A and B are shown apart, each in its own frame.
Chain A
Amino acid sequence: MAVRNAIFRLILVLFAAGACLAPGGGSASEGFEAALVLLTGKSAKKRMAGVEALAASGHPAAASMLSAMVDGKLYYRKEDGRLFVVAKRGREFDLFDPMSGEQAGSARSKALKKVKVNNRLRRAIRTALAGLNLTHPDRAKRLDAAAGLLKSADPGLRPLLAAAFDREADADVRAAMELALAAVDIGRDSPPSVRVAAAGRLGASEAPEARALLGRVVGDAQADPAVREAARAALEEIENRLELYRQFGAGFPGISLGSVLLLAAGGANAAPAVREAARAALEEIENRLELYRQFGAVFQGISLGSVLLLAAVGLAITFGVMGVINMAHGEMVMVGAYATFVVQELFRTFAPELFGLSLAVAVPVAFLAAAGLGAGLERSVIRWLYGRPLETLLATWGVSLVLRQAVRSIFGPTNREVGNPEWMSGAVELAGGVAITYNRIWIILFSLAVLAAVMAVIRYTTFGLEMRAVTQNRPMANAMGIRSRNVDCMTFALGSGVAGMAGVALSQIDNVSPNLGQAYIVDSFMVIVFGGVGNLWGVLVGAMSLGIVNKFIEPFSGAVLGKIVVLVALILFIQRRPQGLFAMRGRAAEL
């Protein structure tokens, strides 16, 4: 077998050499005719000879015939033994002449017989095809062929490869062929000096096969010490180059390099040294990515913080300024989110082309819906409970249960889909696969804007002045002619309305479900308690620090454990500093 293969390759080589001198010569054509006859032979041996002869003939149609044969499309007519490439059409076969590629009529399937292929033949055909394709006019085919030979590293094809390499003009193909040559040269059959030279050439490549080959040589105890040394040096060279990449390397190059290295590390035939080096390199990449992740964590933290900020600002107004614990605050957020959903549905139904504006409309709608609900809640329930914070807590919890169940009954218990308008979707891709989504950026900006607006209302409007007066001294404010009852109602409405706007923002990043508010209520209470009651700056600082700390702990401990750590830390913080970061003043101080 080996002998026959050698002969076959010799023929190939001879042909390749011949093809250079006299392409398409008459002798080649004769060989082709003979090969066709062999292919129709009954025994696999004959067909093997046919394949070899076909490959050696160098006929322009040889490649297409060989691939048709592998695909099982090569048939011969029983009566005259003529070969055809066929296309099946039911029982009728369309026949194509393999030489010209033109249709040559059709025949019933019974009249034809398939040229059978077994695995050995298939292998021979593949190698033959690779050899033939080395001189194929199509550049992509030549590249493929070179890559295939790099993998098989068959020393028998070396002369053919060398001949093709000499004639090749395309730089990329040349590089691929050179690599394949080196892969052949470093094989065990070559003399040590050739192997050493090949190792040097392989060292210039980044292909995983090159490293695998080098690794194999390094690990080969029987190899000549000089060869092993050269292979080791070449590997080192590759590693150094990879190190360079790592210096620049980041993001997607890093990831793809990482996956290549992973392949190298996972390859069972890679030498321990290669695997070790690859693993180390992989670790370095991981470290770099970890850094990017940290940066992403800060951003995520700020983003989470701004969500908490939105939810907590309203709470700070009702809890801090009025001394009222509103357990239904989370449900105000939920109402805002559902208001967004309704507004978007209306837009979808009546003005789909204006969908981008839906959020801009949803913000005031959500504000008004939640504020109205809040005012109603204040008038009907909370005003009777001033000065009894624990009772307020229970009553508003009841309100929260009712609101949740009501929404569940109206909109159903499942998540509702709220769309991202175009100007909010998409992301800025940073290196390392860290994406900063536009909607998060918008939410950060939005929350800061809301905070500024609330501060402005409290500081510069008459209502804000009255609010502050009532907060500081209710009887005195009453004496000055301020209707403190009305101010209470307005304050509560403002706090609830801000929660409603938080709902608009949350609908963009979270599931809109009846339990939306519950997910954030404990956290927002924590923000208030941490930042200090009745101080909006405290809320800002509290929200941001909680958000960032949360996201920073997350990668180390997982999301759940991170949350637990933050909660426990807060409980401990509270007992050190019960008044929060920013001490409270005014009526709430007597709470």
Chain B
Amino acid sequence: MGWLDLKGRIFLVALAVLAGGAVALNLSLPESSALHVPNYMVGLIGKYLCFALLALSVDLVWGFAGILSLGHGAFFALGGYAMGMHLMRQIGERGVYGHPVLPDFMVFLDWKELPWYWHGFDSAWFALPMCLAVPGALAFLFGWLTFRSRVTGVYLSIISQAMTFALMLAFFRNDMGFGGNNGLTDFKDLFGHDLKGAGMRAGLLLASAAALAGGYLLCRWMTVGKFGRVLVAVRDAEQRTRFLGYRPEHYKILVFTVSAMMAGAAGALYVPQVGIINPSEFSPANSIEIVIWVAVGGRGTLIGAALGAVLVNYAKTFLTGAAPEMWLFVLGGLFIAVTLFVPKGVLGEIASLRVRWQARRGSDG
């Protein structure tokens, strides 16, 4: 595993320690213990890990292929909706209206039968692959339409934003059959186990950690070696890469699709942990926020992106509780300050500091 460097190994070990430790301390210690990790904290960590995976997916396209997607929230939400549909079907007769097949909102809207696109989602063997396939298909289509026409830079960003905006409007409609405004919620269980159970919570946290680790390994594997070098070349000088005989659009479509599937996986893991998915996940503001996680941690560093997601979201959790008025000021300030003063992000700055320090030591000695 020559492509996995020291930093990567430290990251994976730290991730394993964090997730395993949290689960162990939650399950084995009594609630009275000082070291006990409360249940909500397990859910919170799981949520952060999903965001980290999402940030990783954005870093893959933005940091390495130079595609600033302002619509990655859409892939996240689509994965979440696919998972939500499976969870909805799992409710079965336990809904408020007790209908054996139709989810509550459909009964409420007086629908007589399940729309065709809801079929199959009762089976996990179908639903789980769909969590990846639907975002992947949309990303492929989007990439096919835009990258081949050489839509780049801010144009692409704006169009990706329009895409998620359109999807948000669509999912807000009751006629779409995805619960409209309220989205999908009231989930009961997954794989036959109660979602609120301690074991399920721990399992989801571990699954999120595993997905993050897997996503990291995938990104690392893709960005090291020849493929990764072509990606960076496309990012830095698309025209030149094209003249060298590469097909930048093929690389871009591939990496964009993979990234969207990662985002979909993040969404699929996110939904059972928070218990709801609604159209506001599609809002353009959410997608831009993902980009700032990556920018804070360090664009093109992968680990930094994951770290940035956790940092910013922790700050969000803390501030929206302590001083809700302040949160948007802080977030806005973060956007400005990071782009102006820390353009490489936290990890990037540390790395360049080290390079400078080594250079100075080298010249001294």
- Quick check: A401 and B155 within 8 Å, CB to CB? no
**Complex alpha-carbon distance, A535 and B151, angstroms:** 19
Q: How far is the CA of A529 from the CA of B148 in the complex (A)?
A: 18
Residue of B nearest to A590 (CB): B153
Closest-by-CB residue of A relative to B327 is A405
Partner of B146, one of A327, A561, A563, A574: A574
Q: Are B149 and A398 in contact (CB under 8 A)?
A: no
Chain B residue contacts of A591, Cβ below 8 A: 153-155
Is there contact, CB below 8 Å, between A393 and B154? yes
* Cβ-neighbour of B166 out of A325, A390, A568 (below 8 A): A568
Asked if B159 and A574 make an inter-chain contact with CB atoms under 8 angstroms apart, the answer reads yes
Cα of A381 to Cα of B340 in the assembled complex, Å: 7
Of residues 492 through 534 on chain A, the ones whose CB sits less than 8 Å from some CB of chain B are: 522, 525-526, 529
Are A522 and B170 in touch, CB under 8 angstroms? no
* Minimal beta-carbon separation of B60 from chain A (angstroms): 16
The yes or no answer to A47 lying at the interface (CB within 8 A) is no
Residues 520-560 of A, flagged 1 when their CB comes within 8 A of B and 0 if not, give: 00100110010000000000000000000000000000101
B68 within 8 A of A: yes
B121-154, CB under 8 A of A: which get 1 and which 0?
A: 0000000000000000000001001101111011
Residues of B within 8 A of A325 (CB): 154, 157-158
- The answer to whether B333 and A398 have CB atoms under 8 Å apart is yes
B328: interface (CB < 8 Å): yes
A574 to B161 Cα, complex, angstroms: 14
Complex contact B169–A563 (CB within 8 A): yes
- Distance from B51 Cβ to chain A, minimum over Cβ atoms (Å): 18
> How far does the alpha carbon of A526 sit from the alpha carbon of B173 in the complex, in Å?
22
Q: What are the residues of chain A within 8 A of B291 when measuring CB–CB?
A: 394
Number of CB contacts from chain A to chain B under 8 A = 124
**Is A400 an interface residue, CB under 8 A from the partner?**
yes
Contact yes or no, A399 B146, CB < 8 A? no
Chain B residue contacts of A404, Cβ below 8 A = 328
Checking B142, B149, B288, B343 against A576 with a beta-carbon cut-off of 8 angstroms, the contacting residue is B149
Q: How far is the CA of A20 from the CA of B306 in the complex (A)?
A: 104
- Complex-state Cα separation, A564 to B146, whole angstroms: 18
Alpha-carbon separation in the docked complex, A219 to B204 (Å): 71
Give B107 Cβ to nearest chain A Cβ, in Å. 23
Distance (whole angstroms) from the CB of A237 to the closest CB of chain B: 44
Q: Tell me, yes or no, whether A578 is within 8 Å of chain B by CB.
A: yes
Interface centre among B150, B165, B335 (most CB of A within 10 A): B335
CB neighbours of B331 from chain A (8 A) = 398, 401
Chain A residue at minimum C-beta to C-beta distance from B161: A522
* Cβ A522 vs Cβ B284 within 8 A: yes
- Decide if A401 touches B162 in the complex (CB within 8 Å): no
* Residues B162 and A567 in contact, CB atoms below 8 Å apart: yes
Asked whether A394 lies within 8 Å of B340 as measured between CB atoms, the reply is: no
* A395 interfacial by beta-carbon distance below 8 Å: yes
Q: Are A384 and B157 in contact (CB under 8 A)?
A: no
Residue A586 lies at the interface, judged by CB distance under 8 Å to chain B: no
The 8 Å CB contact of A529, one of B155, B173, B334, is: B155
Q: Are A571 and B68 in contact (CB under 8 A)?
A: no
B172–A560 touching, CB < 8 Å = yes
B149 touches A570 (CB 8 A): no
Whole-angstrom CA separation of A567 from B328 in the bound complex: 28
For B68, give its contact among A390, A561, A564, A576 (CB under 8 Å). Answer: A390
* Residues of chain B with a CB closer than 8 A to A43's CB: none
Closest to A563 in B: B169
A401 touches B332 (CB 8 A): yes
Cβ of A409 under 8 Å from chain B? yes
A361 at the interface (CB under 8 A from B): no
Contact B149 A389 (CB under 8 A): no
B295 to chain A: which residues have CB within 8 Å? 394
**Contact status A395-B340, CB under 8 Å:** yes
Chain B hits for A385, CB < 8 A = 339-340
Considering only CB atoms, which chain B residue lies closest to A571 in the complex? B159
Q: Is the CB of B333 within 8 A of A402?
A: yes
A571 contacts which chain B residues (CB < 8 A)? 142, 145-146, 159, 162-163, 166
Contact B149 A574 (CB under 8 A): yes
Q: How far is the CB of B351 from chain A (nearest CB, A)?
A: 19
Residues of A within 8 A of B68 (CB): 390, 393
List residues 185-231 of chain A with CB under 8 A from any CB of chain B.
Answer: none
Q: Does B218 interact with chain A (Cβ within 8 Å)?
A: no
Interface size on B, residues (CB 8 A): 42
Residue among B150, B153, B325, B336 with the most chain A CB within 10 A? B336
B108 within 8 A of A: no
CB neighbours of A94 from chain B (8 A): none
Closest to A391 in B: B339
**Max count, chain B CB within 10 A of own CB: residue among A385, A391, A408, A576:** A391
Shortest CB distance A467–B (Å):
20
Q: Is B329 an interface residue (CB 8 A)?
A: yes
B178 CB, min distance to chain A CBs, angstroms: 14
> Does B82 sit within 8 A of A, measured CB to CB?
no
**B292 interfacial by beta-carbon distance below 8 Å:** yes
Q: Does A119 contact B (CB under 8 A)?
A: no
Contacts of B334 in A (CB 8 A): 398
A572 at the interface (CB under 8 A from B): yes
Residues of chain B within 8 A (CB-CB) of A327 are: 288
**CB-contacts of A377-414 with B (<8 A):** 381, 384-385, 389-395, 397-406, 408-409
- Complex Cα distance, B315 from A391, in Å, reads 22
Closest to A403 in B: B332
A564 touches B166 (CB 8 A): yes
Residue of A nearest to B173 (CB): A560
Bound complex: CA A404 to CA B173 (Å): 27
B21–chain A nearest beta-carbon distance, Å: 34
Instruction: Give the residues from 284 to 335 in chain B that come closer than 8 angstroms, CB to CB, to chain A.
Output: 284, 288, 291-292, 295, 325, 328-329, 331-335
Instruction: Kindly identify which residue among B150, B157, B165 contacts A390, using a CB–CB cutoff of 8 Å.
Output: B157
| Least distance between B147 CB and chain A CB atoms (Å) | 9
Residue among A384, A393, A409, A567 with most chain B CB within 10 A: A393
A395 to B288 alpha-carbon distance, docked (Å):
11
Given that A393-B154, A405-B325 are contacting pairs, would A398 and B332 also be in contact in the complex, using a CB cutoff of 8 Å?
Answer: yes
Q: Contact: A567 with B325, CB < 8 Å?
A: no
Question: CA separation between A394 and B345, bound complex, in Å?
Answer: 13
Q: Within the complex, what minimum Cβ distance (angstroms) separates B46 from chain A?
A: 27
**A118 is an interface residue with CB less than 8 A from chain B:** no
Contact residues in A for B292 (Cβ distance below 8 Å)? 394, 398
Q: Is the CB of A574 within 8 A of B151?
A: yes
Q: How far does the Cβ of B212 sit from chain A's closest Cβ, in whole Å?
A: 24
Q: Which residues of B contact A400 (CB under 8 A)?
A: 332
CA distance A389 to B154 in the complex (A): 7
A247 within 8 A of B: no
What residues on A are CB-neighbors of B173 within 8 Å? Answer: 558, 560-561
Cβ-closest chain A residue relative to B149: A575
Closest to B337 in A: A398
Which residues of chain B come closer than 8 Å to A563, judged between CB atoms?
A: 166, 169
Q: Output the residue of A392, A394, A405, A578 with the most chain B CB within 10 A.
A: A394
A325 to B157, CA, bound (A): 10
Q: Which residues of B contact A397 (CB under 8 A)?
A: 288, 332, 335
**Whole-angstrom CA separation of A439 from B55 in the bound complex:** 46
Binary per-residue interface labels of chain B (6-30) against chain A in the complex, 1 for a CB within 8 Å, 0 otherwise: 0000000000000000000000000
Residues of chain A lying within 8 A (CB to CB) of residue B329: 401-402, 405-406
Q: A527 CB to closest chain B CB, in angstroms?
A: 11
Residues of A within 8 A of B284 (CB): 522
Is B161 within 8 A of A395, CB to CB?
no
Q: How far is the CA of A381 from the CA of B161 in the complex (A)?
A: 23
The 6 closest A-B CB pairs, nearest first, are A398-B335, A401-B332, A402-B332, A405-B328, A567-B166, A575-B149
Known: A385-B340, A529-B155. 6 other contacts (CB 8 A): A390-B153, A392-B339, A398-B335, A405-B328, A525-B162, A560-B169
Between A and B, 28 residue pairs with Cβ closer than 8 Å are A389-B153, A390-B154, A393-B157, A394-B292, A394-B338, A397-B332, A398-B292, A398-B334, A398-B336, A401-B329, A401-B332, A402-B333, A402-B336, A405-B329, A406-B329, A522-B161, A560-B169, A563-B169, A564-B170, A567-B163, A571-B159, A571-B163, A571-B166, A572-B145, A574-B159, A575-B149, A576-B149, A578-B150
